[in-house]
Amino acid sequence: MDILLILASGLTLIVFGVLWVQKRFTYWKKMGIPYEVPHFLYGNLKGVGQYDHDGLLTQKFYEKFKGISPIVGVYYSIKPVAIFIDINLIKDILIKDFASFHDRGIYYNERDDPLSTHLISLPGGKWKQLRNTCSPAFTSLKMKTMFSTMMEVGVKLEKKIDQVCKSGKALDIKKVMSLFTMDVIGSCAFGLETNSLEDENNEFFRMGISVFDNPRYSTRSTFVLQAFRGYARKLRLKLFRDEVIKFYTDLVRNTIDYRLKKKEGRNDFMQILIQLHTSKGEDNLSFNEVLGQTFVFHIAGFEASASILQFCFYELACNPDIQNRLRHHINQVLRKHDGEVTYEAIMDMKYLDQVVNETLRKNPPFGMLSRETTLNYKIPGTDCILEKGTSLHIPIYAIHHDPEFYPNPSKFNPDNFSEEAVKNRHPIAFLPFGAGPRACIGVRFGMMQVKLGVITGLRKFKYTLSPKTRQPIKLQSKFFVAQPEGGIWLNIESVD
């Protein structure tokens, strides 16, 4: 009798569970918004963590529903998520109606995982105050003062590439560029001589790489974590591994203590944060806030920039005419500046701008932008109202590969960013760093180190694809930052 009661109770719970999930999956239908039919177990996350990069996932929905509806409803597990498709509506969200969409809706847990508490993840008032406080660290003047430090690392990068060239081996471009960007960040953010280009086994490089190579959760699990942030905080779930949290906490604490004890000041990002940490005014930053900003600057600064650089050199290897034209342009501009790579010389390289922007267009580091409604929002031209707290995604990768904005989007074409082409294109059709008040704060720094990496790697060397590079490129699904499966390997030779 007891067994029958247990079985009956279990069956009842299963039936109620199934009915509850099915009811959740009627959300978009009741809203009157076109939607992608979800799978019972994982919603519309099929393929994520197995074979679909998030940019490719949202591209499927974008292409299927474009012209049918300004948005499409999907489900991440059982969580309703809106994917915005109409370009004018996306512009409103990012700029005109920003007050209703100022939060990203990204998971953070300040109590248990201070690394997750940074500008990218923080909501509302906390974000605004911190953004205003940190903005002076990323002005053009700051970039100019940091450039000499970057250039010292650039010299080491050229030596590293020359060593590979003389060895006759294929170049793992992502690895070399990760070493380069890691050293730039080490110098400009922490004031550390990390020497990753000379010793790739150092702990600073190993720990930074492990954030992406050995994450705490799979991509699909991370999507679910983001969807149920409130429950995750109650369960005190951390986004990063304990080893990573301890390493960065100790690094930042020791750096702050050393500089305060020695009364040593440096012209780097860390010094600006230390000044804010020790200030008595309203701009004061707690230790955890300093830790979070330093961590995200390090991680985003080295990984995203290294990703851009690897795809740039891949495209140049695939397009030798563009590679030769860019090399000629770089050397031509440098001759105008007495052969010196200076901040002013880089600003004068217009074709380099076009090549880097086309790399960002075709291979954006992040496939989508996340936002969350902070107020009820009536979708223009419809009777639909998105409720406060609704998660939404803007499909960067899909927009960048839409032939309406970029004819023959699979072709690498720097002329997509000629002055005339940019002027005639919708202003929101290019979103590698977002747009509006919440656009990437570190874009100047990131672009500067990417351009320096291209100049350093290209002016004395030329590249072709190695047979070790898998063709066609397939984006790995376990990374939120775009990475090609098997890496990109290049043959390299010196330019006579």
* C-alpha to C-alpha distance for 233 and 425, rounded to whole angstroms: 42
Task: Write down the number of H helices and E strands in the chain.
Answer: 19, 9
**What one-letter code names the amino acid at 128?**
K
Helical segments of 25-137, H only: 27-31, 54-65, 87-91, 124-134
DSSP code per residue over 198-209: T-TTSHHHHHHH
Phi, psi of 48 (to 5 degrees): -65, 130
| Annotated binding residues for heme | 440
Do residues 196 and 186 touch, judged by C-beta distance below 8 A?
A: yes
**Which two tokens mark 424?**
């005639």
Label residues 422-438 b or e (16+ Cβ within 10 Å = b). eeeeeebbbbbbbbbeb
| Annotated binding residues | 440
DSSP code per residue over 374-425: SS-EEPTTSS-EEPTT-EEEE-HHHHHT-TTTSSSTTS--GGGGSHHHHHTS
User: Which of 172, 384, 182, 410 is CA-nearest to residue 300?
Assistant: 182
* C-alpha to C-alpha distance for 105 and 124, rounded to whole angstroms: 10
| Beta strand spans in 152-272 (E) | 171-172
Label residues 1-29 b or e (16+ Cβ within 10 Å = b). eeeeeeeeeeeeeeeeeeeebeeebebbe
Q: Could you tell me if residue 476 is left (phi over 0), alpha (psi between -120 and 50 degrees) or otherwise beta?
A: beta
Q: Write out the H or E segment, with its range, that includes residue 464.
A: strand 461-465
Residues 6+ apart with CB under 8 A from 18: 40
Assign 283 to helix, strand or coil: coil
